[in-house]
Amino acid sequence: MIPTLAGPPVIEFDGVGLTYPGPPPVPALHPARLRVSRGEFVTVVGPSGSGKSTFLNVTGLLDRPTEGVYRLDGIDTAALGEADRTALRGRRIGFVFQSFHLLPQRTAVENVMLAQVYTGVPRRRRRALAVEALERVGLARRMEAAASRMSGGERQRVAIARALVGEPSLLLCDEPTGNLDSGTAERVLGLLEDLHASGMTLVVVTHDPGVAARGARSVVIRDGRLTEGLTGA
């Protein structure tokens, strides 16, 4: 399914901020406005300690903002209970982590199928969908390899396939090339660009200006403040 450009924005921050209660209170994310439309490739760049993690956690529904309204696919997340937030996270957001978070004993296809357990995909359909996702990331030939026997680049591509298999509205990547050498990183970034080209909405959080430049649009975060940066390279 290719997301359409119509409909509400994927991410809509309306004065969203997160202040850790003190004393003294620590504002990790100052109230911000942000809009990511369907099909956009946005990078969020900032040095370590700038509030990138907080932004990622709030956007990924892993943490609740203390103020403002965050709408994901037009759904006001503040009004949701924990079960609904979990459901929204599992169904609408695909996560890609710096450290991959694969289960080492399982094969590539089993790792991808793990994402289908909680979304209630019928068991008999899972393998075909997982294979399809692995084909999309160019790993069709390594499907039955154990994750522990794969290279870093392969692991990250498995993780991307796992994020894609549920057809999320948003691919949320946290330093996706942080653990990869430059050649492998280049291939992963190329893959992300391909996904963007096919209509996927991407938000990549990174400290690396080189990675940030790959996005169609870049948002700078510094001291917990979001500011629109220069438009793509």
Partner 1 sequence: MRRAPFRAGRRPRPVEPTVFGLRDLLDEALAAMLARPGRAALTVLGTLLGVAAFVAVLGLTATASGQISARFTALSATEVLVEDAPEDPATADEPYPADAEARLTRLNGVRAAGLFWQPSTGDETPLVYARPPGLGDPGEQLTVTAASPGYLDAVHAAFRAGRGFDSWHEKTGARVAVLGRAAAARLGITRVEEQPAVFVGDTAFTVIGVIDDVERHAETLLSVLVPANTASALWGAPETAGGMAPKLLIDTELGAARLIGDQAPLALRPDQPGRFKVTVPPDPKELKTGVNADLGTLFLALAAICLLIGAVGIANTTLVAVLERTGEIGLRRALGARGRHIAAQFLAESAFLGLLGGLTGASLGVVAVVATAVAQRWTPVLEPLTVLPAPLIGALTGLVAGLYPAWRATRIEPVEALRR
**Contact call for residue 123 and partner 1 (CB under 8 A):** yes
Minimum gap (Å) between residue 111 Cβ and partner 1? 10
- Choose one: 2-10, 56-64, 132-140, 204-212; the region binding partner 1 (CB under 8 A): 56-64
Minimum gap (Å) between residue 18 Cβ and partner 1? 11
Q: How many CB atoms lie within 10 A of CB 49?
A: 12
Q: Locate all alpha helices (DSSP H) within the chain, ordered by sequence.
A: 52-59, 82-92, 108-113, 123-136, 152-164, 182-197, 209-212
Can you tell me which of 117, 140, 197, 233 binds partner 1, judged by CB under 8 A? 117
**Contact call for residue 149 and partner 1 (CB under 8 A):** no
**Contact call for residue 99 and partner 1 (CB under 8 A):** yes
Q: DSSP letter at 2? A: P
Can you tell me which of 1, 24, 82, 231 binds partner 1, judged by CB under 8 A? 82
**Contact call for residue 84 and partner 1 (CB under 8 A):** yes
**Contact call for residue 69 and partner 1 (CB under 8 A):** no
Q: Are 211 and 177 in contact (CB under 8 A)?
A: yes
- What order do you get walking across the sheet with 26-36 strand by strand? 26-36, 11-20, 67-72, 75-76
At residue 85's C-alpha, the angle toward residues 81 and 86, to 5°, is 120
The Cα 28–Cα 56 span in angstroms is: 12
**Contact call for residue 65 and partner 1 (CB under 8 A):** no
**Contact call for residue 168 and partner 1 (CB under 8 A):** no
The structure tokens 């940030």 sit at 212
**Contact call for residue 21 and partner 1 (CB under 8 A):** no
Nearer to partner 1, 21 or 120 (CB): 120
Nearer to partner 1, 169 or 218 (CB): 169
**Contact call for residue 146 and partner 1 (CB under 8 A):** no
Provide the residue type at 67 as one letter: E
Burial class (CB in 10 A: 0-12, 13-18, 19+), 193: middle
The structure tokens 């992963």 sit at 188
- The residues binding partner 1 (CB under 8 A) are 53, 57, 60, 62-63, 75, 80, 82-84, 86-93, 95, 97, 99, 101, 103, 105-106, 114-115, 117-120, 123, 162
